[in-house]
Amino acid sequence: MEYNHVEHGDVLVSGNLLNSFVDLHRSQLELSGVPQLFYPTLFDKLKKQIFDAGDYFGITEVENDEGETVQRRVCVTSEHNLLKDDPSMIFLIDHAYTYRINNIRNELEQLPDLVERLSRLMLISSDEENKINAIIEHMWKFNHTYTLATNEGNAEDREPYWYIRDEFGSAIEHSDQANVRLVPFLSMIDGQMYTLLWLIKDIKCNESVTVDYVCGIHDEVIRRAKLVPWTEDDLSGDIDYQQTEPNEQYFNTGRENESLPSSDNYPRIDLTKLNRTINVYTDIELVRNHLIDKRFQLVEDLSQADIIFTRKHFKDFKNLCENTQQFINQYPFENVINIKDLLAVICRRTSLPIDNETLQSYPLWLPTTFNLTYELPKFISYFQHREQKNLDNHWIVKPFNLARSIDTHVTKNLNAIIRLAESGPKIVCKYIDKPLLFDREDSGLVKFDIRYIVLLRSLEPLKVYVYKKFWLRFANKPYSLDNNYDDYQVHFTVMNYRYAQNLKKITCEEFIPLFDKQQQHHHLKWSDVQENIFSMIHQVFERAILKKPPCGMLSCHRSRAMYAIDLMLDKNGQPYLLEMNFMPDIERACLYYPTFMDDIFCTLFLDESNSNVIDISSK
């Protein structure tokens, strides 16, 4: 629709200016479902900064016997009924506070006036001793989220913003039969974020204004689960927490399938019999700089390569196997181990169900994990069962596909976990609340995690190896569950990208004797712990090939792969798998161990034994 000269009541808008506004905001307007009849009024109000909701609506308060406000609601105060087809019935709502979750405590500590405003908005008692803690506990009933991806190359840009609407917007209550819509909207006129309110039903004078807090969710069980922060519903009585594996369609969601060879009869290749230097094509600078074995040479033309070693996702296995003589550093459908929610699914295969008495999940080496998209009701039921048994209920919420602990949060607040899922696809894992700790001479007892480089030479038969050298990451501050969960330096170990000034560096050769000495009182020896780690890694690959694609990995004679496995230990030395990564950061490996890249290539592509590589195929 194009506008020439538009007049709606008091709104008179130049058609050219309005068309420019619509073009600039079209994707937002259409994705948010803003009806076109509101465009002229919206443009006028944004341009002139007209906040006129108070001319039509008012906030009413409900008090208890002590005269304290316990509830607020918004009602129509206009003398006339409000009509959804009236083009002036769209309004701007301001935001009281916008923030990123990891920053909220520090910001509130510096903004006492904001603390008071949010306390009043959330109906937190004036007698509350620690209002900041109370705000962080209660804010999930008021929080909303958006993400502004301004630079696709910067992972931090994908971390969501959260915001709390002003007193008017925060007082609008939920109803399944809502009469208004509320959506966030970024105005390019002034670069500010607002919430838009428009009518979807006619509203009578004195009638309450309501919005559907879970708009767009139609499944009744999912709706019930997502509304728990406001309804405080108990799902433990009628929602089964036992997990079942999703269907094949789930594994295909949001991905482009690989093309596969029509049969397994494509030619086998033995690179050791080429009688010439092996050509390697790579787009990875560390490979280019550190592959020094003279049996390999780098080529710039991909078609001339015997080995393609790339960080780009490869899909055309059919052409690779049937029309070339090349190897690739990836396996078909390896996403089942590289994406966090799918990894949890394949690791549970062949395992016992959750024990109904102890609520222990299996396998022991996989933290209890739920997908917050399709397993949310099951998770809430499980959480509430743990609560009833007075079991620890600390959890860690992680995005499916972000690394470096971005948008990852530790909490025991059920409402927080439910709402965090709104900022993007997430899993929730039982937090290892009693981890094995390392005594840092400069900090005390801190958390640490371990990274192994795993080499997959073959799936059928299973030939899997672990690089002998492993890598360690340490928290900066002493571990405690009494601390604030938003203290990154207590609960997280990835310090390369923030707080790097306190980063502890220690090689595995230095770590092992320190570990054995520090864990004498636990009767733990590193050699025994490592055997359990290797057994765990072996089981992951065993389970990854129990089902055919897309539910499992596919054997391919032209595939080789390198993965990183991150894990932690509990106080008893039990390893817990955290995640697996395709094409991990190998800078430290190349820096500390000059033969690292040669060892990797010789193991994967020449089938050579190596003192730096451990065969765990039969664990």
Q: How many CB atoms within 10 Å of residue 294?
A: 7
Partners of 471 in beta bridges: 451
pLDDT at 496 over 70: no
pLDDT of residue 156: 58
| Contact criterion met (CB below 8 Å) for 551 and 336 | yes
Of 156 and 565, more confident: 565
Range list of β-strands (E), 479-615: 561-569, 575-582, 613-615
416/399 Cα distance (integer angstroms) = 14
Kindly calculate the radius of gyration of the chain based on its CA atoms and give it in whole angstroms: 28
Q: How far does the chain reach from its first CA to its final CA, in angstroms?
A: 66
201/217 Cα distance (integer angstroms) = 19
Q: How does pLDDT run across 538-570, given as a tens digit for each residue?
A: 999 999 999 999 999 999 999 999 999 999 999
> Which pTM does this prediction carry?
0.92
Here the tokens at position 386 are 């743990």
- What is each CA distance from 265 to 261, 318, 463, 557, in whole angstroms? 9, 12, 20, 10
| Contact criterion met (CB below 8 Å) for 125 and 195 | no
Ramachandran bin of 338, using left for φ above 0, alpha for ψ from -120 to 50, beta for the remaining angles = alpha
491/476 Cα distance (integer angstroms) = 9
255/432 Cα distance (integer angstroms) = 31
pLDDT at 8 over 60: no
450/569 Cα distance (integer angstroms) = 9
Burial 105-130 (b: 16+ CB within 10 A, else e): beebeeeeeebebbbebbebeeeeee
What DSSP line would sit under 265-334, residue for residue? -SPP--GGGSSSPEEEEE--HHHHHH---TTEEE-S-GGG-SEEE-SSPP-BHHHHHHH---EES--TTT
Partners of 327 in beta bridges: 307
Nearest Cα to Cα of residue 169 among 144, 186, 206, 147: 144
Distance of CA 385 to the CA centre of its chain: 25
| Contact criterion met (CB below 8 Å) for 296 and 278 | yes
Mean pLDDT of the 441-453 span? 94
pLDDT of residue 64: 85
- What is each CA distance from 12 to 15, 25, 48, 88, 351, in whole angstroms? 9, 20, 12, 12, 67
pLDDT of residue 149: 65
What DSSP line would sit under 61-89, residue for residue? EEE-TTS-EEEEEEEE-SSS-B-TT-TT-
Q: How does pLDDT run across 215-233, given as a tens digit for each residue?
A: 999 999 999 999 999 999 9
Partners of 99 in beta bridges: 162
pLDDT at 10 over 50: no
pLDDT at 169 over 60: yes
| Cβ burial, residue 522 (10 Å; 0-12/13-18/19+) | exposed
SS3 category, 487: coil
585/577 Cα distance (integer angstroms) = 18
pLDDT of residue 153: 53
Cβ neighbours of residue 65 closer than 8 Å, sequence gap 6 or more? none
| Contact criterion met (CB below 8 Å) for 514 and 557 | no
pLDDT at 261 over 60: yes
| Contact criterion met (CB below 8 Å) for 118 and 109 | no
Q: How many CB atoms within 10 Å of residue 355?
A: 10
Per-residue pLDDT band at 59 (split at 50, 70, 90): very high
| Contact criterion met (CB below 8 Å) for 404 and 494 | yes
DSSP state of 113: H
Residue 63 has, within 13 A of its CA and on its CB side, a CA count of: 4
Q: How does pLDDT run across 342-358, given as a tens digit for each residue?
A: 999 999 999 999 999 99
- What is each CA distance from 16 to 4, 23, 46, in whole angstroms? 7, 11, 16
pLDDT at 499 over 70: no
DSSP state of 257: P
pLDDT of residue 267: 86
580/202 Cα distance (integer angstroms) = 53
Per-residue pLDDT band at 472 (split at 50, 70, 90): very high
pLDDT of residue 584: 87
Domains assigned to the chain: 5-218 (2.170.270.10), 219-246+368-431 (3.30.1490), 271-328 (no CATH)
Q: How many CB atoms within 10 Å of residue 446?
A: 21
Q: How does pLDDT run across 350-383, given as a tens digit for each residue?
A: 999 999 999 999 999 999 999 999 999 999 999 9
DSSP state of 483: S
| Contact criterion met (CB below 8 Å) for 183 and 447 | no
pLDDT of residue 1: 53
379/480 Cα distance (integer angstroms) = 25
Per-residue pLDDT band at 11 (split at 50, 70, 90): very low
| Contact criterion met (CB below 8 Å) for 446 and 437 | yes
Amino acid occupying residue 584: P
pLDDT at 182 over 70: yes
412/485 Cα distance (integer angstroms) = 9
